[in-house]
Structure 1
Amino acid sequence: MMRYSHLEHRFVQHLPEHLEPGVLYLSMEYGTAAHSCCCGCGEEVVTPLTPTDWNMTFDGETVSLSPSIGSWTLPCRSHYVIKRGKVIEARPWTDEQIAAERRRDKAAKARHYGVSEPVEAQPPAQSPPATPLSDRRSLWDRFKRWAKLGG
């Protein structure tokens, strides 16, 4: 069950060091959305806004992200959709479904970026990069490192 059923959105230039629960931060300058996992576990969920990752829609009042958020690398393995600011819990995926999505994402990135060999997807679609709370680097530093590794 999701602890947060609605996310307030905030457009920011830089992501804050601490993500407030129930808030979806959007940095258009850096093409990134971030929030604290909606299940309430406290883990940070970062979703890059790119042609092969997530898309953001702002209707003037609310924000939607697509595709769904699948936190497959987090212990909670939460899966939900953010539509018009509402958090809609989605059914859990099997390990086989997750593996198939990771293969599809790897191939999509290879096609989009014109790589003849599929690139190693890091992180795969539906699986936002998750960093343990014990990691003391800032969220922005972790995102920059992720982007350099081929996000």
Structure 2
Amino acid sequence: MRHTSITHEFVEYIPGELAEAVLYVSITYRTAVHRCACGCGNKVVTPISPADWQLFYDGETVSLTPSIGNWGFHCRSHYWVTSNQVQWSGTWTDKRIAAGRTRDDWDRQQYFAGRKAAAHEPETAETIDADGRSPLAWLRKLLRR
């Protein structure tokens, strides 16, 4: 059954059995996992990082960007998760999929090249808060409450 909405659960560990229409989010492991929204049952893993997917939480709903294109699955489903809603997108051609994968690879290379350069720079007030914690540590603490 094709889904038009999805709920979310913040978890430390992704459960072995995934419920339909639930996006499991592990901040600890920087990943979000769900069953394909088309209903085929395949497990969809979306790594959360600036080079992969970004997760947005507004206090009530979650969104993932960019879109989820399950090109390796038989269903080849393509959709966005926006404010807990599944917004269906058109199917991509093989040529467009290849171009998208090439762009994604290039984006990852640029991201990691920038991280290597930044690793040699001292930390600044923008990267550490007054208590000496990173923004990610602050978010983890907030989600544990």
Q: Give me the TM-score of the superposition, normalised by structure 1.
A: 0.73
Q: 1:9 is matched by which residue type in structure 2?
A: H
Q: 1:18 is matched by which residue type in structure 2?
A: E
Q: Distance in 1 between matches of 2:52 and 2:80?
A: 14
Which fold has the larger relative contact order, with Cα–Cα distance below 8 Å and residues 6 or more apart in sequence? 1
- The equivalent residue for 1:76 is 75
Q: Secondary structure at the match of 2:34?
A: strand
Identity of aligned residues (%): 47
Listed as ranges, the matches of 1:58-97 within 5 Å are: 58-97=57-96
Listed as ranges, the matches of 1:14-29 within 5 Å are: 14-29=13-28
Deviation at residue 28 of structure 1 after TM alignment: 0.4
Q: 1:71 is matched by which residue type in structure 2?
A: N
Q: Distance in 1 between matches of 2:36 and 2:64?
A: 14
Q: Distance in 2 between matches of 1:106 and 1:9?
A: 28
Q: Secondary structure at the match of 1:19?
A: coil
- The equivalent residue for 1:36 is 35
* Consecutive aligned runs of 4 or more in structure 1 exceeding 3 Å deviation: none
Give structure 1 stretches of 5+ with no counterpart.
116-151
Higher Cα Rg: structure 1 or 2?
A: 2
